[in-house]
Amino acid sequence: MMDFALPPELQAAGPPESRGLARDEVRLLVSDTAGLTHAVFRELPTFLRPDDIVVVNNSATLSAAVDARLGEAAVVVHFSTWLDDGSWVIEVRTTDGRPVPWHILDIGTELRLSGGATAVLRQPWLPPARRLWTADIDVAIPAYLARHGRPITYAYLRQRWSAQYYQTAFGTVAGSAEMPSAGRPFTAELVARLVSTGIAVTPITLHCGVSSPETGEPPSPERFAVSQQTADRVNATRAAGGRVIAIGTTVTRALESATGSDGIVHAASGWTDVVLGPQRPAHVVDGLVTGWHAPGASHLDLLEAVAGAEVVRDAYAAALDAGYLWHEFGDSALLVRY
C-alpha cells in the first residue's frame, strides 16, 4: 500500500465555497496518455471523448452523526448502514474524534442518544474488529436523523458545515453515511456540457458506510445496486470502443461488483464485499474521477487496481508538489489507465 507524508496545510479545512470558489472550480490533475496536466474541474469534458460513459453515484448523504451519552461521558454516534433485520451498524467516537477504546464497549452497552432515543449494542459487526457495532435503536432512524443528526465530520475541518454542503448533484436515493465526495465538484451545467458533447451519464447506487481515519483498514461491506439499464449502457460503450469513467471509488466498487471476469456488467444489487487491489484488478472501469486519499488508506489500492501503481504514484507526487488539497472538500484527479 502506498504511503506518504501529508502536510497539514494540504488538508482542506472547509468546502471550496468557503475559499471563494464554485464547486467546479477546484483543481483537477489529469493523468492520461498525454501525461500529467493541471486543470480546473469544469474543464473535465475536454479530457473525455464523445464515446465515453460517465457513471455516477446517486446515493444522497444522511445527517448521520448524533450526540449521545455513554454512561456520564459525552460521545458521538455515527450511523453507518441499516441491516435487513432493522438494526443498524454504528460507530462510537469521543467528542474529539477518537474511537472509543474497545474495552469500554460490550454486548448490551446502552447509549442514550439526543432527543430521547436509545441504542443498545448487539455485537461487533466485523469481528475481531470492534470499531463498528450492530445496534438496536428504539426509533425510526431516517426521520430521527433528519431531526437530530448532522453530517459526519473529522478533525481537519475548522468548523461544522450544514447538510447542503455534503450533497452532490446526483444524490436522489438517501443512504450514505458519508458523502460520495468524488461527485461533489459536478454542477448541473457541467453535466449538461458532458451530455451535449456526446458523453453518456448513467447512475449506480452505492451507500457509503462510515470510513475510518485509522490507516490500513479494509473497506466494509456496503449496499449497492446496478440497474439493467446502466449495465446495458456500460456494455454497449465498451463494445463500441468507449471508455468507462467512474466518478469515485464508490462507483468503481459497485460496477466491479456487478462485472464478471469477462468484463460484462450485469444488473445486480445487495451487499458488496469486493476489495480491489493487487489480487483483484478492475475488469470494466478504465478510469476514475477521485479526490485525494489519506496516507495508508485502502482506497489507494483501488486506484492502483484501475489506473496502475505507477500512474497513481506519479499523480500523488505531482499533487503534493503542486499543493493540491485533500479530503472531501479538496481537489480532484482524473486517472485513466493506459
| Phi, psi angle pair for 225, to nearest 5° | -155, 130
pLDDT, the chain, mean: 96
b/e per residue, 249-267, with b = 16+ CB within 10 A?
bbbbbbbbbbbeeeeebee
Give the structural domain span for 184.
8-61+161-336
Indicate the pLDDT class of residue 1, thresholds 50, 70 and 90. low
Residue corresponding to grid cell 475536454: 46
Does 25 score more than 90 pLDDT? yes
Residues 173, 212, single domain; the answer is yes
Domain-embedded: residue 99: yes
Q: What is the pLDDT of residues 97-107, one digit of tens each?
A: 888 988 899 99
Residues 204, 325, single domain; the answer is yes
pLDDT at position 98 is: 87
Residues 182, 260, single domain; the answer is yes
- Domain end position, chosen among 92, 119, 148: 148
- Domain end position, chosen among 148, 171, 196: 148
Q: What is the pLDDT of residues 177-198, one digit of tens each?
A: 999 999 999 999 999 999 999 9
Domain-embedded: residue 1: no
**Number of compact structural domains in the chain:** 2
Say which CATH number the domain at 188 has: 3.40.1780.10
Say which CATH number the domain at 104 has: 2.40.10
Task: Name residues whose C-beta falls within 8 Å of residue 150's C-beta, 6 or more positions apart in sequence.
Answer: 63, 65, 66, 160, 163
Global pTM reads 0.96
pLDDT at position 65 is: 98
Mean pLDDT of 26-53: 98
Residue 284 near residue 263 (C-beta atoms within 8 A)? yes
Domain-embedded: residue 249: yes
Residues 183, 135, single domain; the answer is no
pLDDT at position 176 is: 98
- Domain end position, chosen among 148, 179, 214: 148
pLDDT at position 97 is: 87
Does 215 score more than 60 pLDDT? no
Does 304 score more than 90 pLDDT? yes
